[in-house]
A and B are shown apart, each in its own frame.
Chain A
Amino acid sequence: MSEPFEPKIVAFVCTYCTYAGADLAGTSRLKYPPNVRIVRLPCTGRISPMFILKAFQKGADGVLVSGCHPGDCHFDHGNYHARRRWTAFNALLQFTGVPEERVKFSWISAAEGIKFAELIESITEEIRTAGPFEQYHKLIAETGSAASV
Protein backbone atom coordinates (compact mmCIF):
# COMPACT_ATOMS: atom_id res chain seq x y z
CA MET A 1 0.00 0.00 0.00
CA SER A 2 1.23 3.43 -0.85
CA GLU A 3 1.23 6.10 1.82
CA PRO A 4 -1.92 8.19 2.04
CA PHE A 5 -1.61 11.51 0.25
CA GLU A 6 -0.48 14.30 2.52
CA PRO A 7 -0.89 17.66 0.82
CA LYS A 8 1.76 20.31 1.11
CA ILE A 9 0.27 23.67 1.93
CA VAL A 10 2.14 26.95 2.12
CA ALA A 11 0.61 29.88 4.00
CA PHE A 12 1.67 33.49 3.52
CA VAL A 13 0.49 35.53 6.45
CA CYS A 14 0.92 38.93 7.98
CA THR A 15 2.69 39.05 11.30
CA TYR A 16 0.18 41.27 13.07
CA CYS A 17 -2.99 39.29 12.59
CA THR A 18 -2.87 35.84 11.10
CA TYR A 19 0.60 34.95 12.40
CA ALA A 20 -0.55 36.05 15.83
CA GLY A 21 -3.77 34.08 15.32
CA ALA A 22 -1.69 31.00 14.53
CA ASP A 23 0.31 31.64 17.71
CA LEU A 24 -2.94 31.86 19.63
CA ALA A 25 -4.01 28.51 18.20
CA GLY A 26 -0.73 27.23 19.63
CA THR A 27 -1.04 28.75 23.06
CA SER A 28 -4.61 27.45 23.16
CA ARG A 29 -3.21 24.00 22.30
CA LEU A 30 -5.69 23.60 19.44
CA LYS A 31 -4.86 20.74 17.10
CA TYR A 32 -4.71 20.98 13.34
CA PRO A 33 -3.04 18.98 10.57
CA PRO A 34 0.72 19.43 10.18
CA ASN A 35 0.55 20.09 6.44
CA VAL A 36 0.88 23.82 6.51
CA ARG A 37 4.15 25.81 6.40
CA ILE A 38 3.88 29.45 7.37
CA VAL A 39 5.86 32.26 5.78
CA ARG A 40 5.66 35.40 7.88
CA LEU A 41 5.46 38.83 6.23
CA PRO A 42 4.93 42.21 7.85
CA CYS A 43 1.63 42.83 6.09
CA THR A 44 -0.62 41.28 3.46
CA GLY A 45 0.41 44.28 1.39
CA ARG A 46 3.83 42.64 1.13
CA ILE A 47 2.46 39.35 -0.24
CA SER A 48 3.23 39.21 -3.92
CA PRO A 49 1.45 36.90 -6.37
CA MET A 50 4.92 35.59 -7.21
CA PHE A 51 5.07 33.96 -3.79
CA ILE A 52 2.10 31.82 -4.75
CA LEU A 53 3.69 30.70 -8.00
CA LYS A 54 6.96 29.84 -6.26
CA ALA A 55 5.13 27.84 -3.62
CA PHE A 56 3.57 25.82 -6.43
CA GLN A 57 6.96 25.42 -8.04
CA LYS A 58 8.18 23.95 -4.76
CA GLY A 59 5.44 21.38 -5.05
CA ALA A 60 2.71 22.94 -2.95
CA ASP A 61 -0.71 21.41 -3.46
CA GLY A 62 -2.39 24.39 -1.92
CA VAL A 63 -1.62 27.95 -0.86
CA LEU A 64 -3.24 30.08 1.80
CA VAL A 65 -2.91 33.83 1.91
CA SER A 66 -4.20 35.47 5.05
CA GLY A 67 -4.10 38.72 6.98
CA CYS A 68 -5.98 41.24 9.06
CA HIS A 69 -9.68 41.86 8.58
CA PRO A 70 -10.55 44.97 6.58
CA GLY A 71 -10.20 47.99 8.82
CA ASP A 72 -7.81 46.23 11.19
CA CYS A 73 -4.61 46.49 9.22
CA HIS A 74 -1.71 47.52 11.41
CA PHE A 75 -0.52 49.57 8.48
CA ASP A 76 -3.90 51.15 8.02
CA HIS A 77 -4.67 49.89 4.52
CA GLY A 78 -2.15 47.33 3.35
CA ASN A 79 -4.86 44.70 3.34
CA TYR A 80 -7.15 46.80 1.16
CA HIS A 81 -4.43 46.93 -1.47
CA ALA A 82 -3.84 43.23 -1.02
CA ARG A 83 -7.52 42.50 -1.52
CA ARG A 84 -7.52 44.22 -4.92
CA ARG A 85 -4.46 42.30 -6.01
CA TRP A 86 -5.96 39.05 -4.89
CA THR A 87 -9.18 39.79 -6.72
CA ALA A 88 -7.27 40.23 -9.97
CA PHE A 89 -4.80 37.42 -9.42
CA ASN A 90 -7.43 34.98 -8.23
CA ALA A 91 -9.47 35.64 -11.36
CA LEU A 92 -6.38 35.07 -13.45
CA LEU A 93 -5.51 31.82 -11.72
CA GLN A 94 -9.00 30.48 -12.14
CA PHE A 95 -9.09 31.54 -15.77
CA THR A 96 -5.90 29.62 -16.41
CA GLY A 97 -7.25 26.53 -14.71
CA VAL A 98 -5.73 26.65 -11.25
CA PRO A 99 -8.61 25.12 -9.31
CA GLU A 100 -10.33 27.30 -6.79
CA GLU A 101 -9.45 24.98 -3.91
CA ARG A 102 -5.72 25.36 -4.53
CA VAL A 103 -5.48 29.00 -3.51
CA LYS A 104 -7.42 30.31 -0.56
CA PHE A 105 -7.62 33.77 0.90
CA SER A 106 -8.80 34.61 4.38
CA TRP A 107 -8.95 37.24 7.08
CA ILE A 108 -7.83 35.87 10.42
CA SER A 109 -7.29 38.23 13.30
CA ALA A 110 -4.90 37.83 16.20
CA ALA A 111 -7.87 36.73 18.26
CA GLU A 112 -9.04 34.05 15.88
CA GLY A 113 -6.89 31.11 16.87
CA ILE A 114 -9.89 28.88 16.48
CA LYS A 115 -10.64 30.18 13.01
CA PHE A 116 -7.03 29.55 12.04
CA ALA A 117 -7.04 25.97 13.30
CA GLU A 118 -10.40 25.24 11.71
CA LEU A 119 -9.41 26.76 8.40
CA ILE A 120 -6.20 24.73 8.22
CA GLU A 121 -8.23 21.67 9.06
CA SER A 122 -10.80 22.35 6.36
CA ILE A 123 -8.44 23.35 3.57
CA THR A 124 -6.15 20.42 4.30
CA GLU A 125 -9.15 18.14 4.04
CA GLU A 126 -10.36 19.82 0.87
CA ILE A 127 -6.99 19.45 -0.81
CA ARG A 128 -6.54 15.95 0.48
CA THR A 129 -9.80 15.11 -1.27
CA ALA A 130 -8.77 16.94 -4.43
CA GLY A 131 -5.48 15.06 -4.46
CA PRO A 132 -2.04 16.25 -5.51
CA PHE A 133 -1.87 19.21 -7.89
CA GLU A 134 -0.79 16.86 -10.63
CA GLN A 135 -1.09 19.21 -13.55
CA TYR A 136 1.37 21.59 -11.95
CA HIS A 137 3.61 18.78 -10.72
CA LYS A 138 3.86 17.58 -14.31
CA LEU A 139 5.17 20.95 -15.43
CA ILE A 140 7.75 20.87 -12.65
CA ALA A 141 8.81 17.35 -13.67
CA GLU A 142 9.23 18.46 -17.29
CA THR A 143 11.81 21.04 -16.29
CA GLY A 144 13.98 18.20 -15.09
CA SER A 145 13.80 16.07 -18.20
CA ALA A 146 15.77 16.36 -21.40
CA ALA A 147 14.28 18.28 -24.29
CA SER A 148 11.97 15.96 -26.20
CA VAL A 149 13.29 16.61 -29.70
Chain B
Amino acid sequence: MSIQEQYRSRAKELLREGTVKMVIGYGAGTTPLRRRPIFITSPDDADRLVLDAACRTNLAGYLLREGLLADQKSVAVFLTPDGVRTINILAAESQLATEQVIVLGFQIDGENARQLEGTRVADFSGIIAERKKKRKEQPSHEVARKLEQMTSVERFSFWEGEFSRCIKCYACRAACPMCWCRRCVVDNNQPQWVNTSSHTLGNLEWNLVRAFHLAGRCVECGNCSEACPVNIPLHLLNRRMTEEVLTAFDYYPGADEHQEPVLASFRKDDPETFIL
Protein backbone atom coordinates (compact mmCIF):
# COMPACT_ATOMS: atom_id res chain seq x y z
CA MET B 1 0.00 0.00 0.00
CA SER B 2 1.37 3.40 -0.91
CA ILE B 3 1.94 5.90 1.84
CA GLN B 4 -0.90 7.95 0.44
CA GLU B 5 -3.26 5.00 0.71
CA GLN B 6 -2.07 4.23 4.22
CA TYR B 7 -2.72 7.75 5.36
CA ARG B 8 -6.09 7.88 3.64
CA SER B 9 -7.21 4.79 5.47
CA ARG B 10 -5.82 6.11 8.73
CA ALA B 11 -7.69 9.36 8.25
CA LYS B 12 -10.83 7.44 7.43
CA GLU B 13 -10.46 5.36 10.55
CA LEU B 14 -9.85 8.37 12.78
CA LEU B 15 -12.95 10.05 11.44
CA ARG B 16 -15.10 6.95 11.52
CA GLU B 17 -14.15 6.15 15.11
CA GLY B 18 -14.82 9.74 16.06
CA THR B 19 -11.29 10.11 17.40
CA VAL B 20 -11.04 13.33 15.44
CA LYS B 21 -13.63 15.66 14.04
CA MET B 22 -11.44 16.84 11.19
CA VAL B 23 -8.37 15.88 9.25
CA ILE B 24 -6.31 18.74 7.87
CA GLY B 25 -4.27 17.57 4.96
CA TYR B 26 -3.34 18.15 1.36
CA GLY B 27 -5.50 17.81 -1.70
CA ALA B 28 -5.02 18.16 -5.43
CA GLY B 29 -4.53 21.74 -6.62
CA THR B 30 -5.38 23.83 -9.65
CA THR B 31 -2.55 22.29 -11.66
CA PRO B 32 -1.01 18.83 -11.42
CA LEU B 33 1.99 20.23 -9.56
CA ARG B 34 -0.03 22.08 -6.99
CA ARG B 35 -1.29 20.91 -3.64
CA ARG B 36 -3.77 22.77 -1.52
CA PRO B 37 -4.80 22.50 2.13
CA ILE B 38 -8.06 20.60 2.56
CA PHE B 39 -10.26 19.94 5.55
CA ILE B 40 -11.87 16.52 5.73
CA THR B 41 -14.72 15.96 8.14
CA SER B 42 -16.36 12.88 6.67
CA PRO B 43 -14.67 9.49 6.21
CA ASP B 44 -16.06 9.35 2.69
CA ASP B 45 -14.03 12.40 1.72
CA ALA B 46 -10.75 11.00 2.97
CA ASP B 47 -9.92 9.75 -0.51
CA ARG B 48 -9.41 13.34 -1.55
CA LEU B 49 -6.24 13.38 0.54
CA VAL B 50 -2.96 13.49 -1.34
CA LEU B 51 0.46 12.84 0.14
CA ASP B 52 3.57 13.16 -1.96
CA ALA B 53 6.70 15.25 -2.29
CA ALA B 54 4.70 18.27 -3.45
CA CYS B 55 3.08 18.63 -0.02
CA ARG B 56 5.23 21.41 1.34
CA THR B 57 2.99 23.77 3.24
CA ASN B 58 3.14 23.71 7.02
CA LEU B 59 -0.50 23.18 7.96
CA ALA B 60 -0.11 23.66 11.72
CA GLY B 61 -1.40 27.24 11.63
CA TYR B 62 -4.86 26.11 10.56
CA LEU B 63 -5.40 24.64 14.02
CA LEU B 64 -5.67 28.16 15.38
CA ARG B 65 -8.71 28.97 13.25
CA GLU B 66 -11.11 30.81 15.56
CA GLY B 67 -13.26 28.30 17.37
CA LEU B 68 -11.81 25.18 15.75
CA LEU B 69 -10.48 23.66 18.96
CA ALA B 70 -12.92 25.37 21.30
CA ASP B 71 -15.14 22.28 21.60
CA GLN B 72 -12.22 20.28 23.05
CA LYS B 73 -12.52 17.78 20.21
CA SER B 74 -9.43 16.52 18.43
CA VAL B 75 -8.15 17.30 14.97
CA ALA B 76 -5.63 15.31 12.96
CA VAL B 77 -3.06 17.17 10.89
CA PHE B 78 -0.49 16.15 8.33
CA LEU B 79 2.79 17.38 9.75
CA THR B 80 6.47 17.14 9.02
CA PRO B 81 8.86 17.19 11.99
CA ASP B 82 8.98 20.98 11.62
CA GLY B 83 5.21 20.99 11.72
CA VAL B 84 5.37 19.04 14.96
CA ARG B 85 7.80 21.61 16.32
CA THR B 86 5.26 24.25 15.38
CA ILE B 87 2.66 22.49 17.49
CA ASN B 88 5.12 22.36 20.37
CA ILE B 89 5.65 26.10 20.20
CA LEU B 90 1.95 26.81 19.89
CA ALA B 91 1.37 24.65 22.95
CA ALA B 92 4.23 26.28 24.86
CA GLU B 93 2.66 29.62 24.05
CA SER B 94 -0.73 28.36 25.23
CA GLN B 95 -2.40 28.71 21.86
CA LEU B 96 -3.55 25.11 21.79
CA ALA B 97 -3.51 21.94 23.84
CA THR B 98 -1.52 19.07 22.36
CA GLU B 99 -4.13 16.59 23.59
CA GLN B 100 -6.35 17.85 20.82
CA VAL B 101 -3.84 17.21 18.08
CA ILE B 102 -3.32 13.88 16.34
CA VAL B 103 -0.23 13.92 14.19
CA LEU B 104 -0.14 12.34 10.77
CA GLY B 105 3.61 12.54 10.54
CA PHE B 106 5.56 12.43 7.34
CA GLN B 107 8.83 13.56 5.94
CA ILE B 108 9.86 14.45 2.41
CA ASP B 109 13.01 12.68 1.27
CA GLY B 110 13.84 13.86 -2.20
CA GLU B 111 10.99 12.76 -4.40
CA ASN B 112 9.20 10.68 -1.81
CA ALA B 113 7.06 11.20 1.18
CA ARG B 114 8.05 8.92 4.02
CA GLN B 115 5.92 7.84 6.94
CA LEU B 116 6.93 8.86 10.45
CA GLU B 117 5.88 6.78 13.43
CA GLY B 118 3.91 8.49 16.14
CA THR B 119 0.53 9.92 16.97
CA ARG B 120 1.13 12.59 19.56
CA VAL B 121 3.65 15.40 19.32
CA ALA B 122 5.59 13.92 22.22
CA ASP B 123 6.23 10.81 20.10
CA PHE B 124 8.47 12.86 17.84
CA SER B 125 10.85 14.15 20.50
CA GLY B 126 13.59 11.80 19.33
CA ILE B 127 13.38 13.00 15.76
CA ILE B 128 13.37 16.60 16.91
CA ALA B 129 16.39 16.09 19.16
CA GLU B 130 18.15 14.61 16.15
CA ARG B 131 17.20 17.62 14.06
CA LYS B 132 18.61 19.97 16.67
CA LYS B 133 21.94 18.22 16.47
CA LYS B 134 21.89 18.41 12.69
CA ARG B 135 20.82 22.03 12.71
CA LYS B 136 23.81 22.91 14.84
CA GLU B 137 26.15 21.37 12.32
CA GLN B 138 24.33 22.71 9.30
CA PRO B 139 26.29 25.42 7.53
CA SER B 140 24.63 28.78 6.92
CA HIS B 141 22.64 29.26 3.77
CA GLU B 142 24.82 30.03 0.79
CA VAL B 143 23.38 33.52 0.35
CA ALA B 144 23.72 34.16 4.07
CA ARG B 145 27.38 33.20 3.89
CA LYS B 146 27.88 35.60 1.03
CA LEU B 147 26.11 38.28 3.03
CA GLU B 148 28.28 37.73 6.07
CA GLN B 149 31.31 38.33 3.93
CA MET B 150 30.04 41.62 2.57
CA THR B 151 30.71 44.97 4.18
CA SER B 152 27.80 46.32 6.15
CA VAL B 153 27.19 48.89 3.41
CA GLU B 154 26.85 46.12 0.84
CA ARG B 155 24.64 44.09 3.14
CA PHE B 156 22.41 47.06 3.76
CA SER B 157 22.14 47.63 0.01
CA PHE B 158 21.26 44.00 -0.55
CA TRP B 159 18.39 44.14 1.91
CA GLU B 160 17.34 47.58 0.75
CA GLY B 161 16.91 46.06 -2.70
CA GLU B 162 14.97 43.11 -1.37
CA PHE B 163 12.75 45.13 0.92
CA SER B 164 12.09 47.76 -1.72
CA ARG B 165 9.94 45.18 -3.51
CA CYS B 166 7.76 44.40 -0.49
CA ILE B 167 4.16 45.36 -1.17
CA LYS B 168 2.99 44.90 2.42
CA CYS B 169 0.46 42.26 1.47
CA TYR B 170 1.38 40.55 4.75
CA ALA B 171 1.28 37.15 3.08
CA CYS B 172 4.35 36.30 5.18
CA ARG B 173 2.37 37.02 8.31
CA ALA B 174 -0.76 35.29 7.11
CA ALA B 175 1.15 32.18 6.04
CA CYS B 176 3.23 31.96 9.21
CA PRO B 177 1.83 29.62 11.85
CA MET B 178 3.56 31.72 14.52
CA CYS B 179 1.81 34.93 13.56
CA TRP B 180 -1.28 34.34 15.66
CA CYS B 181 -1.44 37.64 17.49
CA ARG B 182 -4.99 38.87 17.85
CA ARG B 183 -3.64 42.22 16.84
CA CYS B 184 -0.36 42.48 14.97
CA VAL B 185 1.99 45.21 16.14
CA VAL B 186 1.82 46.78 12.69
CA ASP B 187 -1.94 47.12 13.10
CA ASN B 188 -1.52 49.08 16.30
CA ASN B 189 -1.61 52.74 15.39
CA GLN B 190 -1.51 54.06 18.94
CA PRO B 191 1.39 54.46 18.47
CA GLN B 192 2.29 53.41 14.96
CA TRP B 193 5.67 51.82 15.68
CA VAL B 194 5.87 50.21 12.26
CA ASN B 195 5.19 52.40 9.27
CA THR B 196 2.38 50.79 7.32
CA SER B 197 3.35 52.40 4.01
CA SER B 198 5.25 50.11 1.73
CA HIS B 199 8.11 52.47 1.09
CA THR B 200 11.45 50.86 1.73
CA LEU B 201 11.75 52.33 5.22
CA GLY B 202 8.37 50.97 6.23
CA ASN B 203 9.18 47.65 4.61
CA LEU B 204 12.51 47.43 6.42
CA GLU B 205 10.81 48.14 9.75
CA TRP B 206 8.12 45.58 9.11
CA ASN B 207 10.48 42.83 8.09
CA LEU B 208 12.90 43.51 10.94
CA VAL B 209 10.14 43.47 13.50
CA ARG B 210 8.66 40.30 12.09
CA ALA B 211 12.03 38.56 12.10
CA PHE B 212 12.62 39.70 15.67
CA HIS B 213 9.22 38.52 16.78
CA LEU B 214 10.07 35.13 15.33
CA ALA B 215 13.42 34.86 17.06
CA GLY B 216 13.40 31.52 18.83
CA ARG B 217 9.93 30.73 17.49
CA CYS B 218 10.59 29.99 13.84
CA VAL B 219 10.75 26.34 12.78
CA GLU B 220 12.08 27.29 9.34
CA CYS B 221 9.13 25.69 7.56
CA GLY B 222 9.45 28.13 4.69
CA ASN B 223 5.79 29.15 4.53
CA CYS B 224 6.74 32.84 4.51
CA SER B 225 9.17 32.73 1.62
CA GLU B 226 6.80 30.49 -0.31
CA ALA B 227 3.95 32.90 0.21
CA CYS B 228 5.86 36.06 -0.60
CA PRO B 229 4.59 37.15 -4.02
CA VAL B 230 7.68 39.25 -4.66
CA ASN B 231 10.14 36.58 -3.56
CA ILE B 232 11.92 38.33 -0.73
CA PRO B 233 14.24 35.76 0.89
CA LEU B 234 12.58 36.11 4.27
CA HIS B 235 13.84 32.73 5.37
CA LEU B 236 17.36 34.15 5.49
CA LEU B 237 16.36 36.50 8.28
CA ASN B 238 14.56 33.83 10.22
CA ARG B 239 17.35 31.33 9.79
CA ARG B 240 19.82 33.87 11.05
CA MET B 241 17.69 34.35 14.17
CA THR B 242 17.48 30.60 14.69
CA GLU B 243 21.23 30.30 14.39
CA GLU B 244 21.64 33.10 16.91
CA VAL B 245 19.42 31.55 19.58
CA LEU B 246 20.97 28.17 18.91
CA THR B 247 24.54 29.35 19.35
CA ALA B 248 23.97 31.96 22.04
CA PHE B 249 21.40 30.12 24.16
CA ASP B 250 21.53 26.52 22.89
CA TYR B 251 17.87 27.01 22.07
CA TYR B 252 16.14 24.99 19.38
CA PRO B 253 12.63 26.32 18.80
CA GLY B 254 9.89 23.78 19.35
CA ALA B 255 12.04 21.19 21.07
CA ASP B 256 9.10 20.22 23.28
CA GLU B 257 5.78 21.56 24.36
CA HIS B 258 7.06 22.85 27.70
CA GLN B 259 9.95 24.86 26.32
CA GLU B 260 10.01 28.38 27.73
CA PRO B 261 10.08 31.11 25.07
CA VAL B 262 13.67 32.12 24.54
CA LEU B 263 13.01 35.82 24.99
CA ALA B 264 10.87 35.42 28.09
CA SER B 265 13.55 33.45 29.88
CA PHE B 266 17.23 33.92 30.57
CA ARG B 267 20.30 32.49 32.16
CA LYS B 268 22.51 34.61 34.33
CA ASP B 269 25.52 33.50 32.33
CA ASP B 270 24.06 34.24 28.91
CA PRO B 271 26.80 35.48 26.59
CA GLU B 272 27.23 39.22 26.30
CA THR B 273 30.39 39.81 24.34
CA PHE B 274 28.90 42.77 22.50
CA ILE B 275 27.98 44.73 25.62
CA LEU B 276 30.37 47.48 26.61
- Do A and B come into direct contact in the complex, CB within 8 Å? yes
Q: Which A positions have Cβ atoms within 8 angstroms of B?
A: 48-50, 53-54, 57, 70-71, 77, 80-81, 83-100, 104-107, 119, 135, 139-140, 142-143
Q: Other than the known A86-B274, A88-B216, A142-B201, what 10 A-B pairs have Cβ atoms closer than 8 Å?
A: A48-B193, A53-B209, A57-B205, A83-B272, A86-B275, A87-B271, A97-B159, A99-B153, A140-B201, A143-B201
Q: How distant is the Cα of A114 from the Cα of B106 in the complex, in angstroms? A: 60
Q: How distant is the Cα of A98 from the Cα of B158 in the complex, in angstroms? A: 12
Q: Do B266 and A84 have beta carbons less than 8 Å apart?
A: yes
The secondary structure that dominates the A interface is helix
Which residue on chain A has the smallest CB distance to residue B200?
A: A139
Q: How distant is the Cα of A106 from the Cα of B274 in the complex, in angstroms? A: 8
Q: How distant is the Cα of A85 from the Cα of B66 in the complex, in angstroms? A: 30
Q: How distant is the Cα of A57 from the Cα of B274 in the complex, in angstroms? A: 24
Which residue from A54, A70, A71 sits with its C-beta under 8 Å from B272? A70
User: How far does the Cβ of B52 sit from chain A's closest Cβ, in whole Å?
Assistant: 35
Does B197 belong to the interface (CB within 8 Å)? Answer: yes
User: How far does the Cβ of B96 sit from chain A's closest Cβ, in whole Å?
Assistant: 25
Instruction: List chain B residues, Cβ under 8 A from A143.
Output: 195, 197, 199, 201-202
Q: Do A88 and B244 have beta carbons less than 8 Å apart?
A: yes
**With A50-B193, A105-B275: A80-B201 Cβ-Cβ less than 8 Å:** no
Q: How distant is the Cα of A119 from the Cα of B276 in the complex, in angstroms? A: 9
The secondary structure that dominates the B interface is helix
Q: Which B positions have Cβ atoms within 8 angstroms of A?
A: 144, 147-148, 150, 152-160, 185, 193-195, 197, 199-202, 204-205, 208-209, 211-212, 215-216, 236-237, 240-241, 244-245, 248-249, 262-268, 270-272, 274-276
25 A–B contacts from the bound complex (CB under 8 Å): A49-B208, A53-B205, A53-B209, A54-B193, A57-B201, A57-B205, A77-B266, A81-B266, A83-B272, A83-B275, A84-B249, A87-B249, A88-B216, A92-B244, A93-B208, A95-B144, A95-B147, A96-B156, A97-B157, A98-B156, A107-B275, A135-B156, A139-B199, A142-B201, A143-B195
Q: Do A135 and B268 have beta carbons less than 8 Å apart?
A: no
User: How far does the Cβ of A63 sit from chain B's closest Cβ, in whole Å?
Assistant: 13
Q: Do B244 and A135 have beta carbons less than 8 Å apart?
A: no
Q: How distant is the Cα of A88 from the Cα of B242 in the complex, in angstroms? A: 9
9 closest residue pairs by CB, A with B: A97-B156, A97-B155, A106-B276, A80-B266, A99-B152, A139-B201, A88-B215, A91-B244, A50-B193
